[in-house]
Amino acid sequence: MSVALATQLREGTKKSHTMAENTGFVSCFLKGVVDKASYRKLVADLYFVYTAMEEEISKLGDHPVVGPVGMQELNRRDALEQDLVFYFGAGWKDQIQPSPSAAAYVERIHAVAQESPELLVGHHYTRYLGDLSGGQILKNIAQKAMNMDGDDGLNFYVFNDIADEKAFKTTYRSTMDELPIDQAMADRIVEEANHAFHLNMNMFKELEGNLVAAIGKVLFGFLTRRQRAGSTEAAAA
């Protein structure tokens, strides 16, 4: 038996998608307000999340529900490793650790893989179909905002093994529609996808704190420089 899982996921996560788009960090990102320190923290968090997801999914290659969606072309861990070398240098591994919200996300992925691996489909959908959908736009925004050239530091958005992202998404959706699941399982997968959106939002909210601190620091520096310049002018007058 199969159900129209792709449509159910799209419809069933619409509200969460809007909420994710409206988190401070994501909307700042869309406006081109991205500082390198917060961005590299995001890359580090995503590294832990994708490592967990790809480790668990690769172990389930023969699983009737998880196996078919585990398409190798989507894997992001290697791309994230390249980006981490760019931001942190060759010793990146010793310099990063997951934020508390990324650690909770990773824990959830491992728990689901143990207890009910089918639910990994909800996690897979939330991240990879989102990456395929917004990748190019987000890459351009990040590139401009951080004054970067080429793909260095932005490999996360580049799917070298996918020639046509739109066509790939169509294949991905029909693969999901053919998964051997019943409606009760589809409901649980949609619920888990919504949970995955919330885990992402928690990560963004934590980064938002860093971003606000970074903007505050720049503003403080600007104001104190102005104040100093003002008092020098007053002293000179």
Q: Which of 99, 126, 143, 155 binds ligand HEM (CB under 6 A)?
A: 126
User: Does 9 sit near ligand HEM (CB under 6 A)?
Assistant: yes
Sequence-separated (6 or more) residues with CB below 8 Å from residue 19: 197, 201
For ligand HEM, which residue of 3, 5, 20, 121 counts as binding (CB under 6 A)?
A: 20
In a 13 Å sphere around the CA of 199, the CA atoms on its Cβ side amount to 23
**How far are the Cα atoms of 13, 46, 136, 205, 214 from residue 19, in angstroms, in the given order?**
10, 19, 21, 12, 24
Query: Which of 3, 5, 26, 109 contacts ligand HEM by CB under 6 A?
Result: 26
Interacting residues with ligand HEM between 176 and 235 (CB under 6 A): 197, 200
**CB of 72 closer than 8 Å to CB of 161:** yes
Nearer to ligand HEM, 34 or 84 (CB): 34
12 CB contacts (<8 Å, ≥6 apart)?
190, 193, 194
**If binding is defined by CB under 6 A, does position 21 make contact with ligand HEM?**
yes
Residues at the binding site for heme b are 10, 17, 125, 173
Residues that bind ligand HEM (CB under 6 A): 9-10, 17, 20-21, 26, 30, 125-126, 129-130, 133-134, 197, 200
